[in-house]
Structure 1
Amino acid sequence: MSHWSELVADKKRRQLESIPQEWLISTPPENVLDVTGYAETCGLLTFQEIQITNTSVDVLLGKLASGEWSSVAVTTAFYKRAIIAHQLVNCLTEIFVERALARAAELDEHLKKTGHVVGPLHGLPISLKDQLSIKGLETTMGYVSWIGKYAEKNAVLVDILIECGAVPFVRTNVPQTLMASLWPETFNNIFGRTTNPYNRLLTCGGSSGGEGALVALKGSPLGIGSDIGGSVRIPSAFCGLYGLRPSYGRIPYSGALNSLEGQDSVLSVFGPMTRSLGGLKTFTKAVIEAKPWLKDPLAVRKKWDEEEYKLADHGYGKKLCFAIMWNDGVVIPHPPITRSLELVKAALIKAGHTVIDWQPLKHRALGDMTREIWNAASAEDYKVTTSVTGEPIITSMMIAPGPAVNAPFRPSKDGISAYQLWQVQKKRRDLRQEYTDLWEATVLETGTGRPIDAIICPAAPYAAPPHGLNRYTNYTTVWNALDYPACVFPVSTVDPAVDVKKPAHSFVDAFDKSIYDLYDPETFKNAPVCLQLVGRTLEEEAVIGMTELVATALTH
C-alpha cells in the first residue's frame, strides 16, 4: 500500500479536479480575518445568485415549488458559493457538481411535466457531513485509511432526503476520529483545517465544523451535522447558526459511518444546521413524516406532532416559565455569554414570561461518566482504523507548537472492563432519574401549574476560541448524556467595548481559572454568541417551537 501521505496527495488532487476551474477565485490574504462578505464581492456570483443564496429555506422552497426559481439555478448558485466558501475556509470534502445538477434537472422536469413537487424539500440543495454515505462516493470521515472506500448504497437519511425532493450537493469536513469531545474542532490529515468565517484565527468548532463554516458563509441553505457530545451545537454556536440536537432515534442514522460503532449507551444523532430558524422545522418535519422507522430499526416510531409544535403541553406558548443556567458549576462563562443570557432573560420577561434560575445537578459527574463510556474502547477503535495505513493520530489542534494543551477527552490506553462499564452506565441511568425528578419538582416554583418549560444555557463557556483551545464541551455533552433535545440560537456578537474582562471570580478550580485567563475581548472580537434551549426527551417539536418564541422575543 502507498504511504499514507501519498494517498492524501492523490485525494487532494482529485478534490481539486472536481472543482470547475471557472469557479476558482482570487482569495484574500491571510491577514483578512472576517471573510463573511467576500463571496458577494469576488465577482463570481451573479445578482440573482446572490439573491438566491441570501434567501431563507422556507422562502426558497416556495419559489422552487412555484417554478419561479428552478432547482438547477438554485443548486448552481449554492454550489458556486460553496466553492467560494471552500477556498476561504477549507470546508468541503466531496464535490460532485455534475451529479447534483443532473438531480436538480430531473426535479425541474418533474415539476414541469406534472405541476407537482416531488416532496416537501423539492429542489433544495442540502450539504452533508462527511459520514453520510452516498452511493458511489468515498466517505473518509477524516481517516486516511478510508480513502478509496466507496459506498455501495446511500445512508437511510440520504435516501429519505432524496425521497423528499432534496438535492445532496457537497459533503463537509470533520476532525479525525469524528469525536468532538476528543477535539471539538475540525482538522484531519487528509483535508486539513477548517477555519471560522468570522475570524479565521478562531476555530469553527467540531465535529460538524465544515457544515458550520459552509452554512455561515451561505454556501448551503441547510446542512446536516451529527452530535454525540455537541458536534452540531458547538459549530452552530461558533458560527452564529441555528442547530438542533434531537433525541436518540428521532432522525435515522442507519447506513452512515461513525466512530465507536457498537457503543450504544450515549448515541450520536443527526440534526440540521441553518441560518433560518424555519429551516429546522421544515427539515425535521419532512424527515419524520417520511416514517424513518420503516427503514431504520433504531428510529423511534413517533409521528410529527403539530400540537406539540404549537406548545400544547406548554400553555400554547402563553406565559411560559424558563429556567436560566448561568453556569454549570464547573466552568464560569466569559462575559459575552453572560451578557447574552441577560439579554434573553430581559426579552422573555418583557414578552410576559417567567424566568427562574436553574441549579445544575451533578454536571461534572454527567460529563465524566459520558467520557468513561466513550473511553472504554476508544483507543482500540482509533488504533484499528488508523493501523491500515499507519497515519498518525492527531494529538493537538494547535496551529503552531506551544505549551501543551490537554484534550477534553483523550483515548485511554487501558479501557475499563465490561463489568466496570455496566456500573458507569447504571450510574448514568440513575442520574437521568435524578434529573427527571428535579425537573418535575420545579412545578412548585414556576407559577404556571406545570414544571419549567425549558432550560436556557450556554452552548460553550466562550465564543469561538483560537485554534487548539476549545477544551471544554460539558455545556453540550451533559444533554447528550440525558438525551435531552437542544436547539442553539444566535443572540449577539462579541463587542470588546461592552464585553470587558471582569475581575477574577472565585475559581472553581485551576481549569476554571485557565478558561478565565483565556478571555481577551480583542481576541474574540466579532465572534458570534449563541445559547441553547433544552427540552425533555423526544420533545423536538416543542423545542423548535419554544426556540422560535425566544427568537421572536429577542427581536421585539
Structure 2
Amino acid sequence: MNPTKWQELVEVKRQRLLQAIPRDWIIPPSPNSNVLDIPASCAVLSPLELEITNTSDVSVLLSNVASSKWTSLDVTRAFCKRAAIAHQLTNCLTEIFFEPALESAAKLDDHLKRTGTPLGPLHGLPVSLKDQYCVKGVETSMGYASWLGVIAEDDAAMVKILRDSGAIPYVRTNVPQTLMWTETHNNVFGRTVNPYNRSLTPGGSSGGEAALLAMRGSILGIGTDVGGSSRVPAHFCGIYGFKPSYHRLPTAGMVNSLEGQDSIATCVGPLSTSLSGIKVLMKASLDSRPWNLDPYVIRKPWDEDAYALKEHGEGKSLCFGIMYDDETLEPHPPVKRALEMTKKAVEAAGHSVIEWKPYKNAEIYAVTRSIWLADGGADYKSAISASGEPMINSMKPDADPSEVPYFRKPREPLSAYQLWQLHAKKRQLRKDHLDRWQATASQTGTGRPIDALICPVAPYVAVPHGQTRSAVYTLIWNALDYPALVLPVTTVDPSLDVKPPMHEYRNCADQCLYKLYDPEVFKGAPVGVQLVTQTQEEEALLAIGAIVDEALKAM
C-alpha cells in the first residue's frame, strides 16, 4: 500500500463517523477539562431524554421499558443522542449505527404492544460494544488501518445473544492500537480522553467504552479483558467493570490481538453504570446457552444457588482478605484510602477482614508477560504491514515516533518448547496460589477460606496521557483465571490524599510512580477497588460485590 494511502483511508473513515451524527446533535467545542455536565446544558437532550440517560440502574431502565413507562424508541434515541455528545467531547466512538438501532427499537415497541410481553430479559436496552465485536454489515477495524474496509459477514456470538435477548446495539467504541495498552489511542480514530479530566486517560483497552459510560452515553457496554482491559478503565472512569473466568462467555466471532494465544484467554468484559447491569447481562447470556455458539464456552448455566452464596454462609459473616500492596509498586494515597474505606464498610456491615500477603506475584507477572511476548511481535507487525501505518510505541502525546521504550521492544520469539515451559510454570503457579487461598481457612474463623479478596485495581487513578505503567494488579487474576469485579468507591481529594514523604524505593518503576503523584493533578478522579474470587465463581462474586457495594453506599 502507498505510504500515504493509509492516511487517506483514515481521513475518509473519520469523516464518515462525524457525518453519522445528525446535524442538530452537534454541539460547540468546550474548553472545560471536566465535561460530565455538558449533556445537561447543551440543549440537545429533552427533559425526558435527560431523565432516561441519567438513570444509572439497568434494572430500573428495563422495568420502565417493560411497563411501557418509557418506550424502547425513546430510550434508544436518548442514548444515541447522548453517545453523540460524548463522542464530540471524548472521542470515544468508532462506529455509529443509530438508524438500524432506532428501527430495532420501534419493532420491539410493536412486539410489546401486540403481545404484552418483553421479547427477552434485555428488551429495549441499548448496549454499546467495544470495537472487537463484529456486527453484520459493519467494518471492525480494531484501530488498525489495515482492517478498514473489511465488512463483517455475521454478528459475533455476544451480539447474537444481545439481539436475541432484546438488546439493541447502537455504537462501537475506541481501543488502543494492538489492544495491549492501558490507554486508548490509535492511528485510525485517535485518542480517547477521560470526561472527568480530559488531560487524563480513560484507561484501556476498553477505554472508549468507559468514557462513553462515564458520560452516560451508555448504561451497559461490552468490553474485553485479557490483562485488565475492562477493569482498569472502570476504575479510571468511576463505573463497574467485570472480568469472568476463561470461557464463561463466548468470544466467537470477535476480532482480537494475539489471536491464537489461548493460555491466558481473552474474556468478555462487561462494564456498566450499575452492578445490576453486569448481573443482568451475565444471567441473560448464560441463560441463552452460549456453548451452542462457541465451542470453548463451558457448559455451565447461571447458578442461582451460587448467587445465593450457599457455599459462602449465605452471605452472612463473610471473611474478606485484603491486599494493600503487591510489594512491587506501592499504590498512591487515594488508592490506599479506597481500600481502607472498603474495609471499614464491610466491617460495619458485620463481616470480617484479614490481611492477604502477596504470594509469588512477581513470578506470575514475569510468566504472563513472557507468554504475551512469545511471538517476538509478529502479531503486531502482521496487523500493520498491509497498510504501512506506523507502530505506536508510546502513548505520550509528544512522543518521538522513532523512539521505542524498553517495554515495547520485541523480544526474540520463543520456540514451542520454551512456550510449553511457560505454560507448565503458569499451571504450577495456579496450583500454588490455590493452596495459598485454601490455607486461609485456618485464619478466617468461618471454617472456609476467605470468601473474596479486596485489592487495588491499579497503583494509581487515571493518569496523564502516556503515563500508565504495567497493569500488574489486574493481569495477575487473568493469569490465575480468577473472576474479578471493580466497584467505584470515591474520588481523589487533595486534602485527604496527601503525597507522602520521600522514602526508599523498591525499584525504578516504583520510584517513577512516586514522582508521578500530585494530588492536584488527580483531583476529582474516580477511585475503585477490585474484588476477586476463585475460578468459575462468577455468580458468587457478583453477589458478594452487591454486599460490598451496598456497604460502601451505607457509609
TM-score, normalised on structure 1?
A: 0.97
Letter matched to residue 172 of structure 1? T
2:316 corresponding residue in structure 1:
318
Tell me which amino acid in the other structure corresponds to 2:33: L
Paired residue secondary structure (2:547): helix
1:506 corresponds to: 504
Residues 251 and 537 of structure 1: CA distance in aligned 2, closer, same or farther (over 3 Å): same
- Letter matched to residue 92 of structure 1: L
Find 1:245's aligned residue among 243, 246, 249.
Answer: 243
Deviates most, 501-510 or 546-555: 501-510
1:290-329 to 2 correspondence within 5 Å?
A: 290-329=288-327
Aligned to 2:176: 175
Aligned 1:117-136 pairs, distance under 5 A? 117-136=118-137
Does residue 16 (structure 1) correspond to residue 54 (structure 2)? The answer is no
SS of residue in 1 equivalent to 2:271:
strand
1:246–1:270 Cα contact (<8 Å) kept: yes
Give yes or no for the alignment of 1:544 onto 2:546.
no
Contact 1:156/1:255, CA 8 A, preserved across alignment? yes
Aligned counterpart, 1:158: 159
Report the CA distance between 1:504 and its aligned residue. 2.5
**Does structure 2 conserve the Cα–Cα contact (< 8 Å) formed by 1:490 and 1:529?**
yes
3-state SS in 2 of match to 1:170: strand
Whether contact under 8 Å (2:9, 2:145) holds in the other structure is yes
SS in 2 for 1:323: strand
Equivalent residue of 2:200, what SS? strand
Q: Any idea what the Cα deviations from partners look like across 1:234-286, whole Å, max 9, x if unmatched? A: 00000001111000111110000001111110011112101111111111000
**Cα pair distance change 1:231/1:549, threshold 3 Å:** same
Mean Cα deviation higher: 130-139 or 264-273 = 264-273
> C-alpha displacement at 1:549, in angstroms?
0.6
Deviations 1:285-326 (A, max 9, x none): 000000000111011110101111111111111111101100
Decide whether the 8 Å contact of 1:125 with 1:168 is kept in 2.
yes
> RMSD over aligned Cα, in angstroms?
1.4
**Corresponding residue to 1:487 among 471, 481, 485:** 485
How many angstroms apart in 1 are the aligned matches of 2:341 and 2:295? 43
Quick check: 483-492 or 20-29, which moved more?
20-29
The counterpart of 1:419, out of the listed 407, 417, 428, is 417
How many angstroms does 1:187 deviate by? 0.2
**What corresponds to 1:109 in structure 2?**
110
The answer to whether the aligner puts 1:370 opposite 2:368 as a matched pair is yes
Instruction: State the alpha-carbon separation in 1 of the partners of residues 391 and 507 from structure 2.
Output: 30
Please list the CA deviations of residues 96-148 of structure 1 after superposition, one character each: whole Å capped at 9, or x if unmatched. Answer: 11111111111111111111111000000000000100000000000000000
Q: Aligned pair in 2 of structure 1 residues 403, 169: CA closer, same or farther (>3 Å)? A: closer
CA–CA distance in 2 between the matches of 1:404 and 1:427?
35
Q: Report the Cα distance in structure 2 between the residues aligned to 1:548 and 1:278, rounded to whole angstroms.
A: 9
Q: Tell me, which stretches of 5 or more residues in structure 2 are unaligned?
A: none
Pair 1:39 & 2:44 matched: no
1:331-350 Cα deviation digits (max 9, x unpaired): 00000000111111111111
| Corresponding residue for residue 466 of structure 1 | 464
> Which of 531, 534, 553 is 1:533 aligned to?
531
Q: 1: CA distance between counterparts of 2:258 and 2:347?
A: 44
SS in 1 for 2:431: helix
* CA pair 72-552 structure 1, distance change in 2 beyond 3 A: same
CA contact (8 A) 1:336 1:494 kept: yes
Q: TM-score, normalised by structure 2?
A: 0.98
Letter in 1 for 2:464: P
Aligned residue identity for 1:348:
V
8 A Cα contact 2:6 2:389, kept in partner:
yes
- The amino acid of 2:23's aligned partner reads Q
State the shift of 1:54 in Å: 1.1
Is contact 1:408-1:471 (8 Å) kept? Answer: no
Residue correspondences, number: 551
Which position in structure 1 is the counterpart of 2:218?
220
- d(CA) in 2 for partners of 1:424 and 1:413? 15
Runs of 4+ in 1 over 4 A off after TM superposition: 402-409
1:386–1:406 Cα change, 3 Å:
closer
CA deviation vs aligned residue, 1:439-484 (integer Å, no higher than 9, x gap): 0000000000100001100000000010000112000000000000
- Per-residue deviation at 1:410? 2.4
Mapped contact 1:408–1:473 kept (Cα < 8 A): no
Deviation at 1:65, TM superposition (A): 0.8
Q: Deviations over 1:61-85 (max 9, x none)?
A: 0011111111110000000000000
Give the Cα–Cα distance (whole angstroms) in 2 for the partners of residues 185 and 82 of structure 1. 20
SS in structure 2 of the partner of residue 231 of structure 1: coil
Separation in structure 1 between the aligned mates of residue 430 and residue 360 of structure 2, nearest angstrom = 11
Find the aligned partners of 1:142 and 1:346 in 2 and give their Cα distance. Answer: 42
- The answer to whether the 8 A contact 1:140-1:147 is kept is yes
Assess if the C-alpha contact under 8 Å between 2:185 and 2:395 holds in 1: yes
Structure 1 residue 407: deviation in Å?
6.0
What one-letter code is carried by the residue in structure 2 that aligns with 1:8?
V
Q: In the alignment, what sits opposite 2:142?
A: 141
Amino acid of the structure 1 residue aligned with 2:227: G
Percent sequence identity over aligned pairs: 55
User: Which of 252, 259, 263 lines up with 2:257 in the alignment?
Assistant: 259
Distance in 2 (CA, whole Å) between partners of 1:378 and 1:113 is: 58
Name structure 1 gaps, 5 residues minimum.
Answer: none
Judged with a 3 Å threshold, the aligned counterparts in structure 2 of structure 1 residues 537 and 408 are, in CA distance, closer, same or farther, namely farther
Q: Which of residues 337, 358, 366 is equivalent to 2:356? A: 358
1:322-361 equivalence runs, <5 A: 322-361=320-359
User: Take 1:103 and 1:555, find their aligned partners in 2: how far apart are those partners?
Assistant: 36
Separation of aligned partners in 1, 2:149 and 2:400: 35
Shift of 1:378: 5.3
Residue type matched to 1:22 in 2? Answer: D
**1:265–1:80 CA distance, 2 compared to 1 (3 A):** same
